[in-house]
């Protein structure tokens, strides 16, 4: 014959501390989180977690760790900026005195000296400003020849378009050169004159005496003495 079931007791249930229950629940939650993190780590290592379409599939296990590291660095940077702002906005310590305000004292005017009034000094009339000199106008032809005259041996240029002739007035330094140097410069200017459309080139001194001219037969320049009629 089976033992009879005892009737339900009306006595109160055994007392259980709520702090103990809270600790058991916290340990259960931590155990569940640890298992969930291990599962996420395994799925991420296997590339099972979803990643954006632009991310390479071969680097899928690196996406979420890099994203978490970037978010952590951003949070630390923001926390540092907030901390610096709070330190700068901290109220002044009670022992520190506030800087004294600078008070400007108005200057006291000296009393006027009694005596005869001073005579007014008449200022001189301003002189008219001189007009600026006119801008220097360079001869366009001389400016073109200046490219082949670095020593400034040409004093002026006188074209004669009707005769296709160009006359160059030489500076005194040209006569002091050796014959080879004078011939080299004359032939160089002859090539430049031909490029400008002048078939004849003549070199003269300040007295318009002929120093060189183009050869009538062949090419090149003929050098002349100032007294030679040519």
| Phi (first) and psi of residue 226, to 5 degrees | -55, -30
- Looking up tokens 């989180």, which residue turns up? 33
Check pLDDT > 60 for residue 116. Answer: no
- Residues 117-139 as b or e (16 or more Cβ within 10 Å = b): eeeeeeeeeeeeeeeeeeeeeee
Q: In sequence order, what DSSP letters do the residues of 131-151 get, joined into one string?
A: PPPPPPPPPHHHHHHGGG-TT
Q: Measured between alpha carbons, how far is 221 from 193 in angstroms, rounded to an integer?
A: 12
8 A C-beta contact, residue 170 and residue 154: yes
Arithmetic mean of pLDDT over the chain:
77
pLDDT band (50, 70, 90) for residue 134: very low
Spell out the domain ranges in the chain: 19-49+56-83, 140-223
CB-side exposure of 91: number of CA atoms within 13 Å?
A: 3
pLDDT band (50, 70, 90) for residue 184: very high
pLDDT over 70, % of the chain = 73
User: Measured between alpha carbons, how far is residue 4 from residues 1, 7, 8, 161, 162 in Å?
Assistant: 9, 9, 12, 149, 152
Other beta carbons within 10 angstroms of residue 214's beta carbon come to 22
Structural tokens at position 111: 């009393």
Q: Measured between alpha carbons, how far is 83 from 106 in angstroms, rounded to an integer?
A: 45
pLDDT at position 138 is 47
- Residues 151-182 as b or e (16 or more Cβ within 10 Å = b): eebbbebebeeeeebbbbbbbeebeeeeeeeb
């Amino acid at each position: 014959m089976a033992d009879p079931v005892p009737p339900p007791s009306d006595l109160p249930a055994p007392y259980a501390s709520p702090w103990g229950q809270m600790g058991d629940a916290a340990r259960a939650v931590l155990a569940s989180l640890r298992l969930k993190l291990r599962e996420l780590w395994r799925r991420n290592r296997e590339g099972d977690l979803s990643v954006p379409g632009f991310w390479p599939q071969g680097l899928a296990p690196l996406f979420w760790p890099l994203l978490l590291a970037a978010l952590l660095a951003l949070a630390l940077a923001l926390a540092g900026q907030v901390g610096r702002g709070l330190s700068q906005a901290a109220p002044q310590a009670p022992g520190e005195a506030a800087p004294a305000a600078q008070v400007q004292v108005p200057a006291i005017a000296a009393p006027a000296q009694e005596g005869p009034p001073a005579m007014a000094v008449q200022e001189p009339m301003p002189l008219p400003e001189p007009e600026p000199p006119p801008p220097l106008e360079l001869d366009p032809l001389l400016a073109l020849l200046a490219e082949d005259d670095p020593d400034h041996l040409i004093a002026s240029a006188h074209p004669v378009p009707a005769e296709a002739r160009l006359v160059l007035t030489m500076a005194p330094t040209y006569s002091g050169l050796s014959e080879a140097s004078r011939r080299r410069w004359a032939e160089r200017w002859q090539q430049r004159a031909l490029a400008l459309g002048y078939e004849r080139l003549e070199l003269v001194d300040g007295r318009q005496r002929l120093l060189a001219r183009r050869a009538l037969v062949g090419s090149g320049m003929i050098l002349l003495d100032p007294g030679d009629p040519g």
